Chain A
Amino acid sequence: MDVSKDTTESAAMTESSPDPQANPQTGSGFAGPSMAVAGSAGQGSVKRNRGEGTVELMGLNAYYGSTHAVRGVDLGFAADKVTAIIGPSGCGKSTMVRCINRMHEEIDGARAEGQVLLDGLDLYDSRIDIVAVRRAVGMVFQKPNPFPTMSVFDNAVSGLRLTGVSRGELDDRGREALVAAGLWEEVKDRLKAPGVGLSGGQQQRLCIARALAVEPEVLLMDEPCSALDPVATLKIEELIGELKQRVTIVIVTHNMQQAARVADTTVFMLDGELVEVGPTEKLFTTPDDDRTEQYVTGKFG
């Protein structure tokens, strides 16, 4: 995928959230064209193959005004793997993840420093088209946020529709996205019904379908199951296991058992710093750092 030359608002609209929670301070989604500062066509362009999607954070710092929320994080996310970020509230895990698709900077007074490399391409390079960044790096939020006025199908293809794909292709890719999100069988007979009429778990999978439709390389999930019941949660977790074949997944979760169940790698953060990264099994059986031990065993939180 080329993240440097598309200057449409499509991806921004796809990934922006009608849910104020998703963007609490601006409340208005993304800034649109003014943020899409692509250089001339082709400049900074890097063609990428499907199946890639390695993310690397190098010296990442994030601030809210004078508050230093993420402190010098160096961290890699392997392609086609699930990485879980755990840590107590306020440790910077959501902030760090929101730096990966440059959502952090949308908040007033917020800024990020350092590098976020997607397959070697610095997403913070001034020539990078921020809209394309958000198409390459999809996001699913805590609360399901389908567009309230759109049908199930229109929700699924809302991002695609603005990229100029043909009607026929739209149908195919919409269906494919719904299949990939494990939702097709449940909604195929009511594609024209309102998206918000689905159950909470179905709405969240609809949001995942919407994010998948534009074929992102990376899918960020910020506590995607915290508003769901246990059965809907398990469906999302199974889906995550299937989706990692096609997209790199980064999941922020407060539910440590969820991290243990779904993640290949788990990252523990505390006070904005990365404390420990390791294979999930190792982190939950024999963590190296005493602070990790204290946190995963629930001795503080």
Chain B
Amino acid sequence: MVTETRTQYQEELERLEASALDGLNLVSSALQRTLEAVEHQDVELAQIVVADDDRIDGRYLEVHQSLITLLATQSPVATDLRLISALLHVLKSVERMGDQCVNICKVIPLTGNEPPADREMVALILGMGKQTRALIGQAKRAFAERDVEMARDLVRQDDFVDDLNRECFRLALDLGDDADQREWAMTMLLAARAIERIADNAVDIGEQVAFVVTGLFREFEDASHPTT
């Protein structure tokens, strides 16, 4: 009497999850290119990142619409409902992460062809970017595997990014009085800030993992009431 049902719906939901999580691969690639553009002051590569953001936005729109259709036609409940709600958040994070890459790439031309770059600061930003790409990969894996512990660990990984970001500020203050170099440093602080936000978005995805698994939404860390 009891038979398996709704296989098409389940397959569609699985497809949409895979598609949404693949959005994190797109973001990771965009961030990689962004870092290369920062490192080499590559304005053309930066323009490619800006143009390519349409793919990320397109992914957002496509999967978002399909999820809304599932909500409207399939009346999902329980885990399915939590998954769809979480995927809508994930998509929003993916779209914002892409936009942060665009923000960085848009400021690269402002620093000129041969800016008075501070190697140490560039290295810090590249380090932040590398760590953030690792966070993106970990968030994706934690979601796909419904691994709450792995998701919680994102907070710890994010702390390294925050530390590097603070280090960037310290370096910027120590750069001296040269106006050009100060301007360059200001631009780089914007980039560092954008990368730091991308890492925060990865943590947000981790919070959605916990929601899918437990049904409870709690911020892993409350920025307005920090514990430390």
Instruction: Chain A residues near B4: list those with CB within 8 A.
Output: 299-300
A43-51, A69-77, A111-119, A279-287 - the one binding chain B = A279-287
Q: Which one of B3, B5, B77, B214 contacts A284 once the chains associate, using CB atoms below 8 Å?
A: B77
Q: What is the CB-to-nearest-CB distance from B5 to chain A, in angstroms, rounded to a whole number?
A: 5
- Taken together as a complex, chains A and B put the C-alpha atoms of A279 and B214 apart, in Å, by 17
| Nearest-CB residue, chain A, relative to B214 | A286
| Nearest-CB residue, chain A, relative to B216 | A286
Q: What is the CB-to-nearest-CB distance from B146 to chain A, in angstroms, rounded to a whole number?
A: 14
B78-86, B87-95, B162-170, B173-181 - the one binding chain A = B78-86
| Nearest-CB residue, chain A, relative to B81 | A285
Q: What is the CB-to-nearest-CB distance from B130 to chain A, in angstroms, rounded to a whole number?
A: 38
Q: Which one of B5, B75, B81 contacts A299 once the chains associate, using CB atoms below 8 Å?
A: B5
B:1-29 near A, CB below 8 Å: 1-6, 9-10
A96-104, A169-177, A193-201, A290-298 - the one binding chain B = A290-298
B:180-228 near A, CB below 8 Å: 214-215
Could you tell me if B9 and A298 are in contact, using CB atoms closer than 8 angstroms? yes
- Taken together as a complex, chains A and B put the C-alpha atoms of A78 and B90 apart, in Å, by 40
Q: What class of interface size applies to chain B in its complex with A?
A: 10 to 19
Could you tell me if A299 and B10 are in contact, using CB atoms closer than 8 angstroms? yes
Q: A285-B215, A286-B215 are in contact. Are A88 and B77 (CB under 8 A)?
A: no
Instruction: Chain B residues near A286: list those with CB within 8 A.
Output: 78, 82, 214-215
Q: What is the CB-to-nearest-CB distance from A69 to chain B, in angstroms, rounded to a whole number?
A: 13
- Taken together as a complex, chains A and B put the C-alpha atoms of A293 and B78 apart, in Å, by 6
Q: What is the CB-to-nearest-CB distance from A299 to chain B, in angstroms, rounded to a whole number?
A: 7
Q: B76 interface residue, CB < 8 Å from A?
A: yes
Q: What is the CB-to-nearest-CB distance from A137 to chain B, in angstroms, rounded to a whole number?
A: 29
- Taken together as a complex, chains A and B put the C-alpha atoms of A88 and B1 apart, in Å, by 9
Instruction: Give 1 or 0 for each of B97-134: 1 = CB within 8 Å of chain A CB.
Output: 00000000000000000000000000000000000000
Could you tell me if B2 and A88 are in contact, using CB atoms closer than 8 angstroms? yes
| Nearest-CB residue, chain A, relative to B83 | A297
A:208-261 near B, CB below 8 Å: 256-257, 260
Q: A148 interface residue, CB < 8 Å from B?
A: no
Instruction: Chain A residues near B1: list those with CB within 8 A.
Output: 88-90
Q: A301 interface residue, CB < 8 Å from B?
A: yes
Q: What is the CB-to-nearest-CB distance from B168 to chain A, in angstroms, rounded to a whole number?
A: 42
Could you tell me if A293 and B5 are in contact, using CB atoms closer than 8 angstroms? no
- Taken together as a complex, chains A and B put the C-alpha atoms of A283 and B54 apart, in Å, by 40
- Count how many chain A residues have C-beta atoms less than 8 Å from C-beta atoms of the other chain: 18
Instruction: Chain B residues near A300: list those with CB within 8 A.
Output: 2-5
Instruction: Give 1 or 0 for each of B59-75: 1 = CB within 8 Å of chain A CB.
Output: 00000000000000011
Q: A257-B75, A286-B215 are in contact. Are A298 and B81 (CB under 8 A)?
A: no
Instruction: Chain B residues near A296: list those with CB within 8 A.
Output: 77-78
Could you tell me if B2 and A297 are in contact, using CB atoms closer than 8 angstroms? no
- Taken together as a complex, chains A and B put the C-alpha atoms of A257 and B72 apart, in Å, by 12
Q: Which one of B79, B214, B215 contacts A297 once the chains associate, using CB atoms below 8 Å?
A: B79
Could you tell me if B5 and A298 are in contact, using CB atoms closer than 8 angstroms? yes
Instruction: Chain B residues near A285: list those with CB within 8 A.
Output: 77-78, 81-82, 215
A:10-69 near B, CB below 8 Å: none
- Taken together as a complex, chains A and B put the C-alpha atoms of A286 and B4 apart, in Å, by 21
Instruction: Chain A residues near B82: list those with CB within 8 A.
Output: 285-286
Instruction: Chain B residues near A298: list those with CB within 8 A.
Output: 5-6, 9, 74
A:265-293 near B, CB below 8 Å: 284-287, 292-293
Q: What is the CB-to-nearest-CB distance from B219 to chain A, in angstroms, rounded to a whole number?
A: 19
Q: What is the CB-to-nearest-CB distance from A83 to chain B, in angstroms, rounded to a whole number?
A: 18
- Taken together as a complex, chains A and B put the C-alpha atoms of A89 and B2 apart, in Å, by 9
Provide a sorted-by-A list of 23 A–B residue pairs whose CB atoms are within 8 angstroms: A90-B1, A256-B77, A257-B75, A260-B77, A284-B81, A285-B81, A285-B82, A286-B82, A293-B78, A293-B79, A296-B77, A297-B76, A297-B77, A297-B78, A297-B79, A299-B4, A299-B5, A299-B10, A300-B2, A300-B3, A300-B4, A301-B3, A301-B5
Measuring CB to CB, which residues of chain A are less than 8 angstroms from any residue of chain B? Answer: 88-90, 256-257, 260, 284-287, 292-293, 296-301
Nearest 5 Cβ contacts at the A-B interface = A286-B215, A298-B6, A284-B77, A300-B2, A297-B80
Given contacts A88-B1, A298-B9, 15 further A-B contacts (CB under 8 A): A88-B2, A260-B77, A284-B81, A285-B77, A285-B82, A286-B78, A286-B82, A292-B78, A297-B6, A297-B77, A297-B78, A297-B80, A298-B5, A298-B6, A300-B2
